[in-house]
Amino acid sequence: MFDLTPLTDYGLVFLRAMAGAVYIDSGYNDLKDPQARSKSIGVPKGFAIFLGAAEIAGGAAIVVGVFQQLAAIGLILIMLGAIQKKIFVWKTGFWGKDGLGWSYDLTFISMLLVILFTDGGRIVFLR
């Protein structure tokens, strides 16, 4: 119907900016109080710090376009860990209570797969 393929790179940079912003914010919040975060997700404090730093680094890489495919793979692994915890440990359903199911995580995996498969498009801010 419409040929919007010339705008693909703009759509991909917007997707990268939004996904990256979510991961940067999430990682920052994890690092603000790693003790509380570690208790809330049931991991050691050091691992919570690692996750927060990885989310910030991966989110920033996706936004600026540096090693974005590697960052997408790393963030996908983090999200798969979150889904595993929600399904098998916390017994959370797809939608969960109060929207805290693993549908959110799966949505972000889908976004990260687009970034992985397209290398995030041709618009990059650092190379």
pLDDT at 97 exceeding the cut of 90: no
For the chain, which residues make up each domain, given as ranges?
Answer: 9-118
What are the pLDDT digits (tens) for 13-69? 999 999 999 999 999 999 999 999 999 999 999 999 999 999 999 999 999 999 999
What are the pLDDT digits (tens) for 77-96? 999 999 999 999 999 999 98
How many CA atoms are closer than 13 Å to the CA of 30, on its beta-carbon side?
23
Return the amino acid letter for 8: T
Q: What is the pLDDT of residue 99?
A: 73
The token pair at 63 is 């936004």
Q: What is the pLDDT of residue 125?
A: 86
What are the pLDDT digits (tens) for 109-118? 999 999 999 9
pLDDT at 127 exceeding the cut of 70: no
Long-range contacts of the stretch 12-18 (C-beta < 8 A, 24+): 12/114, 12/115, 12/118, 12/120, 12/121, 12/123, 13/120, 13/121, 13/123, 15/111, 15/114, 15/115, 16/62, 16/63, 16/65, 16/68, 16/115, 16/120, 16/121, 17/63, 18/111
C-alpha 55/C-alpha 32 separation (Å) is 13
